[in-house]
Amino acid sequence: MKNILFTIFALFLLSFSLFAQKSIDDSFSQKKMHKDLKLFRDIREKANSGLYKYRSKNEIDSIYNWAENEIKNSSTYRDFYNIIWKLTDFEGSLHNGLNLPKKVNASVKAEKTGYFPFPVKLIEGKLRMNMDSTQIPLGAEILSINNTPIEKVLPNLHKYYTTDGFNKTGKAIGINGSFSYYYRLHYGKQEQFLVAYKTSNEILTQTIQSVSYKKRRENFIKKRHSLSYDKNSYSDIEKNEFYYFEMLENDIAKLTLNTFAIGGNAQDPIHIRYTEFLDSVFTLLKEKKVNNLIVDIRDNGGGTDPNDLVTYSYLSSRNFMENTEAWISFRKIPYWKHIKGEIAFYKKPILKMLYNKELKKIFPLEKEGKYYEDSTSDDHQVRMPKQNAFTGKVYLMISPRVASAGSLFAAMSASEENTIVVGEETQGGYYGHNGHIPLNYTLSKSKLKMFFSIVNLEQDVPKKDNQPIGSGIMPDYEITQSYQDFIKNEDTQLNYVLEFIEKK
């Protein structure tokens, strides 16, 4: 049924209207800011079931009071854009987001100057040059930019990459991939950058001229040093790399799952091929009596049901459901007029009726102003372990890139007693998240496009002492890529797992 909603709603994802704003740095009146801020909050309170998932009423009130005061010192469209981003990030959902209207976005992409030219990467907590240059060498630690220490710069950029709960490791994915763009959004266009950096024990400075939006993207996509190591984290994954299996040694196998975006539903031929692949893998593992299985999901940003659940059924030792609870906060979609799209006005009432009707089917139970799925939902279907489910030792490799369906799979797998989790905290939550069904709204005055997922989910996982509420999936062994391995583009985490197995 969730897929039906996606189909119905696909017609409404784009928004078009007359809008004078052309540049993100243009002036924007405080009166318009206040009106859009009120609308933004009204929509979140009515439609977003995750508003208070991690934040108390007092905390939400407090940050909106901050926003009201911030507007008093604001004068540009970019000022307001950054205020809305901070509110969006504060809620704690990786499915939250904000897009610029078409004209403003086009003007940003056409900019000929203003951008920090070099890709960077966080390595062991330090921001390193991720490109060799005659101005600043590969691997140099960036200490400050334009006299602002980097430890003050980075928190200002975190808001542009939302994560579940209070997670911070996932912010590194945004920083590594879009530092230059985020810097421009927060600090404005810069004609040049005074960079203080460190090589070995020497601290140096260099003045760097800015580049165009296009050039900074080209440097990242084609010239970053780590491209061969992290290409699947920052580009579309090739079909032949969606998933694959390899025997490393007689008693060690590795299953790599880079995405769960494998077909649209259980009847999709692509999904069926995937289940056949899984069955052949786990049949082979049983026949060969393999005792050690590495499951690498470090690049898995999610996908569609039931790929995650079917995969877990080959690792599970228990009966399980996708979630124990799922609810939304409204019976009829609120503020419908602010959802605009390419569809004739006379068809909009029909679409609204269909959408609300489908939501009522999916969430029929009302309890204290919330609308829940019932026992007939696919989400609450009890699933059993596969007959050839793996019973040896599982080494689950995770990273901050793991999100959504990827983190659901990681949470369930991490709950198994025979699983050892290695890597870094995921950006997706262990106990739950907001997901499944997105809503997209356009603010009246700024035309900013806000989106969030409306289903508040509690995942079917046990409580664990090392999994605090509001965190991502925490590793049993926290291992990050070392500086030396970054320079050599070697896999610190995989090498650790292989050595761990050998020692055992």
Domain CATH code at residue 425 = 3.90.226.10
pLDDT at 265: 78
- Whether 112 maps to a domain, the answer reads no
The verdict on 399 and 299 lying in the same domain is: yes
The verdict on 157 and 67 lying in the same domain is: no
The verdict on 157 and 184 lying in the same domain is: yes
Distances (CA, A) of 438 to 13, 41, 72, 164: 10, 17, 32, 16
Which domain-ending residue is among 225, 254, 270? 225
Which domain-ending residue is among 203, 225, 247? 225
Please tell me the distance from the alpha carbon of residue 107 to that of residue 24, in angstroms, as a whole number. 8
pLDDT at 52: 97
- Whether 109 maps to a domain, the answer reads no
The verdict on 50 and 137 lying in the same domain is: no
Model confidence, pTM: 0.92
Please tell me the distance from the alpha carbon of residue 267 to that of residue 287, in angstroms, as a whole number. 29
What the block records as the tokens of 170 is 């996932």
- Whether 325 maps to a domain, the answer reads no
175 contacts 120 by C-beta, under 8 angstroms: yes
The verdict on 215 and 303 lying in the same domain is: no
The verdict on 245 and 134 lying in the same domain is: no
The verdict on 451 and 364 lying in the same domain is: yes
Which domain-ending residue is among 225, 247, 264? 225
- C-beta atoms surrounding 117 within 10 Å: 20
Close Cβ partners of 297 (under 8 Å, ≥ 6 residues apart): 257, 258, 396, 397, 398, 402, 406, 409, 410
- Whether 113 maps to a domain, the answer reads no
pLDDT at 11: 45
The verdict on 369 and 495 lying in the same domain is: no
Please tell me the distance from the alpha carbon of residue 294 to that of residue 494, in angstroms, as a whole number. 9
Tell me which amino acid residue 265 is.
N
- Whether 65 maps to a domain, the answer reads yes
470 contacts 93 by C-beta, under 8 angstroms: no
414 contacts 471 by C-beta, under 8 angstroms: no
What the block records as the tokens of 152 is 């003050």
pLDDT in tens, the chain (504 residues): 455 455 445 544 443 445 567 899 999 999 999 999 999 999 999 999 999 999 999 999 999 999 999 999 999 999 999 999 999 999 999 999 999 999 999 999 999 999 999 999 999 999 999 999 999 999 999 999 999 999 999 999 999 999 999 999 999 999 999 999 999 999 999 999 999 999 988 999 999 999 999 999 999 999 999 999 999 999 989 999 999 999 998 899 999 999 999 987 778 889 999 999 999 999 999 999 999 999 999 999 999 889 999 999 999 999 999 999 999 999 999 999 998 665 666 677 888 899 999 999 999 999 999 999 999 998 899 999 999 999 999 999 999 999 999 999 999 999 999 999 999 999 999 999 999 999 999 999 999 999 999 999 999 999 999 999 999 999 999 999 999 999 999 999 999 999 999 987
411 contacts 419 by C-beta, under 8 angstroms: no
What the block records as the tokens of 399 is 């990273």
Close Cβ partners of 436 (under 8 Å, ≥ 6 residues apart): 2, 326, 453, 454, 455, 457
Vertex 197, ends 193 and 199: CA angle to 5°?
Answer: 150
- Whether 398 maps to a domain, the answer reads yes
The verdict on 65 and 18 lying in the same domain is: yes
The verdict on 21 and 3 lying in the same domain is: yes
The verdict on 171 and 34 lying in the same domain is: no
In this structure, what DSSP letter does residue 480 have? Answer: -
* E-only strand ranges, 130-217: 141-145, 148-149, 192-199, 202-209
The verdict on 260 and 395 lying in the same domain is: yes
pLDDT at 3: 56
Structural domain count of the chain: 3
Vertex 45, ends 39 and 46: CA angle to 5°?
Answer: 90
Vertex 24, ends 18 and 28: CA angle to 5°?
Answer: 70
In this structure, what DSSP letter does residue 429 have? Answer: B
Please tell me the distance from the alpha carbon of residue 57 to that of residue 51, in angstroms, as a whole number. 9
In this structure, what DSSP letter does residue 266 have? Answer: T
CATH assignment at residue 131: 2.30.42.10
pLDDT at 267: 84
- Whether 95 maps to a domain, the answer reads no
What the block records as the tokens of 10 is 């696909």
Secondary structure tally for the chain: helices H, strands E: 15, 18
Q: Which domain holds residue 44?
A: 1-90+331-380+440-457
